[in-house]
Amino acid sequence: MFMNTDDSELTLMQLSDSFFPSGMYTMSNGLETVFDQKRVRSESDVYDFLENILEQQLGPADSVALSNAYDCAKNGDISGIIQCDEILHSMKLIEETRAASCRAGSQMLKCISAISSNDILQAYSDAISKNESPGTHPVVAGVCSFVLGVKKEQARQMMMYGFCVSVTGAALRLGLIDHIQSQKILHNLKPTIQKTLEKFKDTGINDCWQFSPGYDLVQMTHEKKFSKMFIT
């Protein structure tokens, strides 16, 4: 059964709320490493860090996978969902990042399966349980958003904005910025989010890409840190 689509905006609020148990708040996405290396020191540095990831990774890869998975779920195409999942998983080069994405995806799927039932959601959940699909967070978000009646464009915005909230939250806990600065960063990133989503809105899963070698190196360094506050 599908959730009443009249509730879609409330559902979007629920999924994007930091209270939702996806575990995103445990990730700094490499910010902790560049903070320790004193490469990020200010509000503008956090903004630049996020802008680069949005344009070079989340936009061309994660948002494309979410969008294509959403369409596959709409068409009842479980093999297409699995293909989106496998492609995105293979593009996450750092083991720590891959594992974190799959943990967040697993948490989201577990929660949504408890509040809604649907054949394609069950089929995808079964595929993950049988290790036939990795269950990356963006793909899970795409499938769950369709099942819950959230519009595809809203789901894409939710993922990108949620990522920014996660990183600015990490910056706040690291003492890099204060609450007002975090809100300024989120507000100022809105045009970048919109522009990036527009650029990749019609990109097929076989044409997704990412190119952020500096970010990959940061993640590799974080993976080997002895003591750390965040899991990525």
pLDDT at 97: 85
pTM to 2 decimal places: 0.91
CB 85 within 8 A of CB 136: yes
pLDDT at 9: 83
C-alpha atoms less than 13 angstroms from C-alpha of 31 in its C-beta half-sphere: 34
CB 196 within 8 A of CB 160: yes
For 65, the 3-state DSSP assignment is helix
pLDDT at 218: 79
pLDDT at 222: 60
3-class SS letters over 82-100? HHHHHHHHHHCCCHHHHHH
pLDDT at 21: 72
**Nearest partner of 138 among 81, 187, 215, judged by Cα:** 81
Q: For residue 80, what is the enclosing H or E element?
A: helix 78-91
DSSP 8-state assignment for residue 19? T
pLDDT at 158: 94
Going from the C-alpha of 29 to that of each of 74, 83, 164, 222, the distances in angstroms are 31, 25, 10, 9
pLDDT at 1: 45
How far, in Å, CA of 169 to CA of 163, rounded?
A: 10
10-residue averages of pLDDT along the chain (232 residues): 62 79 68 81 94 95 98 98 98 87 93 92 97 97 95 96 91 92 97 98 96 81 57 50
For 216, the 3-state DSSP assignment is helix
Which two three-digit tokens encode residue 49? Answer: 């860090």
C-alpha atoms less than 13 angstroms from C-alpha of 195 in its C-beta half-sphere: 9
pLDDT at 27: 64
pLDDT at 62: 97
Ordered by where they begin, the domains of the chain are 40-198 (1.10.4190.10)
pLDDT at 152: 97
CB-count exposure of residue 224 (10 Å: 0-12, 13-18, 19+): exposed
